[in-house]
Chains A and B, each alone.
Chain A
């Protein structure tokens, strides 16, 4: 921990950006508390599905498997989760099924790419097409869940000054879980033996194998953990955030998440920050429309989050490096 602080570059753009963000937040907070809380809370709501979805990408790519099937995984999980919850009249079972669907989908991806050495982009594409086709074909309007995951003010946490009202008010258990899951993934990835092994099979599987790490098993496990998170996001959107299933509800979240993963440099906390930043830009665009800024065409306001993302990406480009073995199937050399 101390080393982390010592090695931190206080002149880095990241640090300056964080200081500027906090300063801006405090300024807005003192100007209008209610609206600031509302916008920050909205940013969190927009950002959380993206942040969790980018965790799927991180879990897979850090172990050397590219997964562009996040979109499909979420879609299938949301679908099964919603309809199982609808028929069983139980949202807990629904969420469990959503997560299991995520695991199963990623198992298919893992078998195709890791065991059979298929092209990882093609495998992910198959999952996306299959998910979109299947869920549209089987979709029936008018089903409903008995209730959704509730939304409430988190006791104690929601009373924290400055943060509480925006970060811990009017949210559901899955979103709250996500806020703790992401730092946990960072710790696991950077501070545990499992994390070290994951990173090693993603950077240099040959060396990892020589050191006695089972590359195939390591990758299978990671991809499937990623799938579980993907399932969680599907369940999160359909059973908590929105509370209903609609066709192609993922609306590109899985792909935006991949961009945020790169923006966050394959680091869980980085991707989290990127997702929240994107979410805040989105919430701000909405707020400008609420303020009735009408001397600018609304199209210019609604594209703000994207312009913002492109700008930040442009400034941070050139410094990102993906895990060295990402995208390359590993085959043990035969002697």
Chain B
């Protein structure tokens, strides 16, 4: 009897866990005309999370809205309730059933589902945000929107080279995988470039990678503790890049006075408000313009599948705008142009 009671509690707990409300298209805009000739409908399937997450989902949704507006179309979104291929696929099919013309999926977690659905609906264009594609396995109606992380890292590193007082800069980053490596080495090269420009010999930027494992990007204690170790040895500008691991670093650096930290991917001023005391800027992937641009290409009939690279940059300085000398800001703007145009190499292959 007692055991049965225990088992029922367990069953109830698991049932509760499995229960999530079915996802549906947010009724922001009337989409009954989708499928008619000349009507462009853009559907965004968020990763688990909301379109107000101040991060990837929000940026992709803003890009979809801007892009749809520019071509006189309609944009809607579905917020995914679970991080499973089935959930993502179901949500994409909700849009497909309503004859949407472009489906935007957000984040690498959706990559598998996006590839499958794109093959299933060849008439619909798919945009996989932050999904690097193996183009031998994908259909031409799918474009993976990516960024040159090394460029964003380089620009942020260049700024850091002008901010550091001790000349010692460090990085606490996630697992050593290609995008993280590009950010990290790009940053280090940016610092070195700024050093050379100022005729100063900086010690090499110290990169601390997470030992990986399935928690490489969700280990804030690792980020915090390693940042503290760097701070205590005089490193005064630290690039903390790597999901929760990096965010832990940012929050910790903010507790030390007079140190600078730099965020990653999106403007982390909003996503990690704890870090505002030290957050000068973030090495940013410009997601919204990238998405909007691809929608524009769809309208123009120049949409091509495969890997597409969007622009990068650094986020606004916010409260630090008044603290960074105008001359330095001007230099950063100039170097950004050079890096983006490709006339200045980041030194990362």
Taking Cβ atoms with an 8 Å cutoff, the residues of A that contact B are 34-35, 37-39, 41-42, 45-46, 49, 111-113, 115-118, 122-123, 126, 129-130, 133-134, 136-137, 140-145, 148, 151, 170, 237, 241-244, 246-249, 251-253, 282-283, 285-287, 289-290, 292, 298-299, 302-303, 305-306
> Is B345 interfacial (CB 8 A cutoff)?
no
The reply to whether B10 and A237 contact each other, CB–CB distance below 8 Å, is no
Most buried by B among A113, A133, A285: A133
Chain B residues, CB < 8 A from A117: 2-3, 6
> Is B20 interfacial (CB 8 A cutoff)?
yes
Assembly CA distance A242 to B245 (angstroms): 10
> Is B53 interfacial (CB 8 A cutoff)?
yes
The reply to whether B232 and A243 contact each other, CB–CB distance below 8 Å, is no
The reply to whether B228 and A45 contact each other, CB–CB distance below 8 Å, is yes
Given A123-B10, A249-B221, A142 and B229 touching (CB < 8 A)? no
Q: Which residue of B lies closest to A252 (CB)?
A: B215
> Is B90 interfacial (CB 8 A cutoff)?
no
The reply to whether A292 and B232 contact each other, CB–CB distance below 8 Å, is no
A-B contact pairs, 12 of them (CB 8 A): A117-B3, A118-B3, A142-B270, A244-B248, A251-B244, A286-B229, A290-B229, A290-B233, A292-B204, A299-B211, A302-B210, A302-B211
Given A42-B229, A129-B14, A249 and B55 touching (CB < 8 A)? no
Assembly CA distance A126 to B220 (angstroms): 24
A11 to chain B, nearest CB (A): 35
Given A144-B273, A249-B248, A292-B204, A112 and B6 touching (CB < 8 A)? yes
List residues 133-169 of chain B with CB under 8 A from any CB of chain A.
Answer: none
How many contacting A-B pairs (Cβ < 8 A)? 166
Given A141-B55, A145-B274, A242-B221, A286 and B248 touching (CB < 8 A)? no
B229 to chain A, nearest CB (A): 4
The reply to whether A251 and B274 contact each other, CB–CB distance below 8 Å, is no
Chain B residues, CB < 8 A from A37: 232
Size range of the chain B interface in the assembly: 35 or more
The reply to whether A144 and B274 contact each other, CB–CB distance below 8 Å, is yes
Assembly CA distance A243 to B247 (angstroms): 10
The reply to whether A244 and B232 contact each other, CB–CB distance below 8 Å, is no
> Is B219 interfacial (CB 8 A cutoff)?
yes
Chain A residues, CB < 8 A from B20: 137
The reply to whether A298 and B273 contact each other, CB–CB distance below 8 Å, is no
The residue that A249 contacts in the complex, of B210, B226, B233, B244, with Cβ under 8 A, is B244
Assembly CA distance A253 to B213 (angstroms): 13
The reply to whether B221 and A46 contact each other, CB–CB distance below 8 Å, is yes
> Is B97 interfacial (CB 8 A cutoff)?
no
The reply to whether B3 and A142 contact each other, CB–CB distance below 8 Å, is no
A259 to chain B, nearest CB (A): 14
Q: Which residue of A lies closest to B244 (CB)?
A: A246
Q: Other than the known A115-B2, A243-B254, A248-B215, what 12 A-B pairs have Cβ atoms closer than 8 Å?
A: A37-B232, A39-B229, A42-B225, A116-B2, A170-B228, A242-B220, A242-B224, A243-B252, A251-B221, A283-B225, A298-B209, A302-B210
Assembly CA distance A241 to B233 (angstroms): 18
Assembly CA distance A252 to B225 (angstroms): 16
The reply to whether A141 and B271 contact each other, CB–CB distance below 8 Å, is yes
The reply to whether B221 and A246 contact each other, CB–CB distance below 8 Å, is no
Chain B residues, CB < 8 A from A251: 215, 218-222, 244
B305 to chain A, nearest CB (A): 31
Assembly CA distance A122 to B7 (angstroms): 10
Chain A residues, CB < 8 A from B274: 144-145, 148, 243-244
> Is B321 interfacial (CB 8 A cutoff)?
no
Q: Which residue of A lies closest to B234 (CB)?
A: A34
> Is B96 interfacial (CB 8 A cutoff)?
no
The residue that B207 contacts in the complex, of A170, A242, A252, A289, with Cβ under 8 A, is A289
A67 to chain B, nearest CB (A): 15
Chain B residues, CB < 8 A from A283: 225, 229
Chain A residues, CB < 8 A from B53: 140-142
Chain B residues, CB < 8 A from A113: 6
Most buried by B among A123, A129, A241, A252: A241
B31 to chain A, nearest CB (A): 27
Assembly CA distance A142 to B2 (angstroms): 44
The reply to whether A286 and B226 contact each other, CB–CB distance below 8 Å, is yes
List residues 195-237 of chain B with CB under 8 A from any CB of chain A.
Answer: 204, 206-213, 215, 218-226, 228-230, 232-233
Q: Which residue of B lies closest to A143 (CB)?
A: B273
The reply to whether A249 and B218 contact each other, CB–CB distance below 8 Å, is yes
A313 to chain B, nearest CB (A): 18
Interface string of B243-286 (1 = CB under 8 A from A): 11001100110110000000000000011111000000000000
Q: Which residue of A lies closest to B50 (CB)?
A: A140
Assembly CA distance A115 to B6 (angstroms): 9
